[in-house]
Structure 1
Amino acid sequence: MSRNGVLVVGSISADVTAFADRLPQPGETVLGNDVTLVLGGKGANQAVAAARFGAPTWMVGCVGDDAFADLTAGDLRRYGVNTDLLRSVPGPTGVAHIRVDANGQNDIVNTPLANGHLDADQVDGALAALASQASVLLLQLEVRAGITAHAAEAGRRAGLAVVLDPAPAVAVPETVWQHVDIVTPNESEAGLITGIEVTGVDTARKAAQWFLDRGVRQVVITLGGAGAVSVTAAESHEYAPFAVTAVDTTAAGDAFTGTLGAALALGLGSADAIRHAMAAGALAVTKRGASPSLPDRDAVLALAGRPATA
C-alpha cells in the first residue's frame, strides 16, 4: 500500500465571520455588510487543503454534540477528508469569531471548546491505524500545546515527516522542535517565537537559524506579499510571491501548509512543494472565508505554472 497520505492532528471549529469596511476600535460598534458560517479551525483547514490537492487525508480531532458538530464533520467529508478518526465529546464544538475589513485583513477570537478534549490516546491510535498509509503529519497550535508536542514525537517515531505551522504563536514545550521536520511560521509568528523581528529576507534567515539550532530540519517562513524563505542547515532559498488581490487573508497559512504537506506526500520535491503551497496560499486570499477559500488542485497547478512576481 502506498504511503501517500496526510494525517492532520488538530483543531476543528465553526467559523463565524463578520465583514465590515473597517474593524472597530475597542469599545466601538461598526455596521457590517455580510456574515458567514462555515467550517474552520487550523487543523480542519489544513486537512481540506491537503485533500483538495489530491492527497488521501485523515483528520484527527474532536467535535462537540451540538449542531456545529454536524456542520463541521459534514463539511470535512464534503471536501474529501476522511473523518473516521474524529471523536465526539459532550459540549459545544470549537468556535472562531473572525472579523474582516475591506482590505482583507482580519482579527480572530478562537474558542477551543471541544478541541481541548483531544488527547494522546486518540493521537496514538490514529498513528497506529495509518502507519502504512500516511507519510506526512500536519500539526498546528490550536489544541493543547502538550498534545501537539506528543503528536510530533510520536509521528516522528512512526516515520512520518512532521510539519508544524506554529500558529497561533503560543508557548510550547522546548522538546517539540527536535521532532519537527518542517516548520512554517509567517513573519509575525516567527518573530513572536524567536524574539527576532522579521522584516524581510535577512531577518527571516536569522529567525530560521533559531529553529535550526533547536533541531528543526527545514524552516519555511512566509512573508506575505514578499514571498517566502526556506532555510536548512545546508542552504537557503527565496521564493517570489504570486501577484493576487487580497479579499480575506483568513486560512492563507493553512492553505500553504496543507498543500505543502499534500505535495510532499504525493512525491514532489521540496522546492516544487513550496511553490505549489505558495500558489495555494495566494489563491486562498482571493476569496472570503476559511474552508471555502481553499483552492482545488487544478487551480493550484494553474497558478503554480505561471511566473511568480519578480
Structure 2
Amino acid sequence: MSQTESSATRTDGVLIVGSITADLTTFSHRLPSRGETVLGDDFTLVLGGKGANQAIAVALAGSSAYMVSCVGTDLFAPLLTNGLQQAGVDIDHVSQVPGPSGIAHIRVDESGENDIVMVPLANASLSAEQIDAAFLAHASSSRVLLTQLEIPWALTQHAIRKAHESGLTVILDPAPATALDGSIWPLVDIVTPNETEASRLTGIVVTDADSAIAAGRWFTARGAGHALITMASSGAILVSETAVQHFPAIPVVAVDTTAAGDAFAGYLGAALARGNDLTDSIRQAMAAGALTVTQRGASPSLPQRAAVEALLDLHAGAAH
C-alpha cells in the first residue's frame, strides 16, 4: 500500500507534533561529579528526540505515524530524516530549516539511569502554519495527537487546540516538565508524567501510590480527562475523576532507561488509534516501555509489536 493510499483509506493515524534530535550518548560506570572527568565505556550517535521516538514507536506498533517537526541543514539531518523514513514514519511535514538540528547529550550509568541536556535548535523553528498544514492533510485519517514539551510551548498548545477541535484524543507527555498554562488541561484527554514530572507540575512529591493518586487528582481537578502517572518499577497509576486503576510493572533488567517514556506514549497512542480500550492500550504501553529499558539507545531500543505482544503473553502466563 502506498503512503498516499494509506492516508486515504486508514483511520488509525497518530499525529506527532514534537522534537527530532541527534542523540549523542555516553555510557560509563557512573556519572561524573561536578568538575570531574570519568572514563566511559561506549558512545553512540542515533536518531532521538521525544517526538521522533514516539513517532517510531507508533509506526512499530502498526499504526500510521505522521511526524510534524523540523531538522536543520547540518551533517546530522540525513541521519534523522532517513531514520524516520526507514521506521515507516510519514515525514511530509518535517521541514528542513537553516542551521543545526536539535541535539541531545545523554549520559548513562551502569544501572541504566540517565541524565539529558536537550538543545532544541531547529525544533524551535516549528510554526503554527506547519502544524495547520499537517492537520489539514491528516486529521481526517487520525484519531490521536501525541505531543510533548521539547518544542516551544505556544506550538504544543496550538497543536492541542487543533486536535481538540478536530475530535482527536489528545495525549500530552509533559516532558521536560515546566509550568504550563492551566487553560490547556480541559483539552487534554490523557497526561502521562513520570514521578519527577508529576512532582514538578503539581507540587506534590510523588514517592508512592498514594502521592501518585494525589498528583493525578491535581490534573483531573483542572480538567484533564485522565492522568497516567508512570513510576518505573512501581508500575503506573491511572486517575480519572471517578476512578483509580493500578498497572503493575513488568519486571525486566534495565540497561538504559532512555526513551522508555516515549515507547510508552507511542504504543499507548497507537493502540488507542486502532480502537483498543484504554486499559488494554496501557498494558501494551507498559510492555513497550519495559522492553525499551533492556536495550541501549533511544530509537534503536524501541520494540517491535510482535515482541511487545510476546512479552504480554509471557507476563499473563506467569501471572496465572
1:209 aligns with 2:202: no
1:146 alignment partner, one of 122, 132, 154 = 154
Instruction: Give yes or no for contact 1:17–1:99 (8 Å, CA) kept in 2.
Output: yes
1:42 aligns with 2:63: no
Find the counterpart in structure 2 of residue 252 from structure 1. Answer: 260
Find the aligned partners of 1:272 and 1:289 in 2 and give their Cα distance.
Answer: 27
Instruction: Give yes or no for contact 1:146–1:172 (8 Å, CA) kept in 2.
Output: no
Match of 1:298, SS state, is helix
Find the counterpart in structure 2 of residue 77 from structure 1. Answer: 85
Find the counterpart in structure 1 of residue 208 from structure 2. Answer: 200
Find the aligned partners of 1:149 and 1:214 in 2 and give their Cα distance.
Answer: 16
1:117 aligns with 2:125: yes
1:295 alignment partner, one of 290, 295, 303 = 303
Find the counterpart in structure 2 of residue 304 from structure 1. Answer: 312
CA shift, 1:224, in A, is 0.6
Instruction: Give yes or no for contact 1:145–1:173 (8 Å, CA) kept in 2.
Output: no
Find the counterpart in structure 1 of residue 175 from structure 2. Answer: 167
CA shift, 1:84, in A, is 0.7
2:197 alignment partner, one of 176, 184, 189 = 189
1:157 aligns with 2:161: no
Instruction: Give yes or no for contact 1:58–1:81 (8 Å, CA) kept in 2.
Output: yes
Find the counterpart in structure 1 of residue 105 from structure 2. Answer: 97
Instruction: Give yes or no for contact 2:221–2:241 (8 Å, CA) kept in 1.
Output: no
CA shift, 1:131, in A, is 2.1
Instruction: Give yes or no for contact 1:191–1:207 (8 Å, CA) kept in 2.
Output: yes
Find the aligned partners of 1:114 and 1:178 in 2 and give their Cα distance.
Answer: 30
TM-score (norm 1): 0.98
Match of 1:188, SS state, is helix
CA shift, 1:173, in A, is 1.9
Find the aligned partners of 2:220 and 2:41 in 1 and give their Cα distance.
Answer: 45
2:226 alignment partner, one of 185, 205, 218 = 218
Find the aligned partners of 1:205 and 1:186 in 2 and give their Cα distance.
Answer: 12
Amino acid across the alignment from 1:234: T
CA shift, 1:233, in A, is 1.1
String of CA shifts for 1:238-284, please: whole Å, max 9, x gaps: 01110100000000000000100001001111000000000000000
Instruction: Give yes or no for contact 2:107–2:114 (8 Å, CA) kept in 1.
Output: yes
Instruction: Give yes or no for contact 1:178–1:215 (8 Å, CA) kept in 2.
Output: yes
Amino acid across the alignment from 2:78: D
Amino acid across the alignment from 2:282: I
CA shift, 1:172, in A, is 2.1
How many percent of aligned residue pairs carry the same amino acid? Answer: 55
Find the aligned partners of 2:139 and 2:296 in 1 and give their Cα distance.
Answer: 36
Find the aligned partners of 2:298 and 2:139 in 1 and give their Cα distance.
Answer: 29
1:235 alignment partner, one of 230, 243, 247 = 243
Structure 2 unaligned regions, length at least 5: 1-8
TM-score (norm 2): 0.95
Find the counterpart in structure 2 of residue 67 from structure 1. Answer: 75
Find the aligned partners of 2:313 and 2:180 in 1 and give their Cα distance.
Answer: 37
CA shift, 1:170, in A, is 1.4
CA shift, 1:72, in A, is 0.4
2:282 alignment partner, one of 274, 284, 288 = 274
Find the aligned partners of 2:34 and 2:215 in 1 and give their Cα distance.
Answer: 32
Find the aligned partners of 1:157 and 1:283 in 2 and give their Cα distance.
Answer: 35
Find the counterpart in structure 2 of residue 107 from structure 1. Answer: 115
* RMSD (Å) for aligned C-alpha atoms: 1.1
Instruction: Give yes or no for contact 1:149–1:175 (8 Å, CA) kept in 2.
Output: no
Find the aligned partners of 2:82 and 2:72 in 1 and give their Cα distance.
Answer: 13
1:134 aligns with 2:142: yes
Amino acid across the alignment from 1:268: N
Find the counterpart in structure 2 of residue 88 from structure 1. Answer: 96
Structure 1 unaligned regions, length at least 5: none
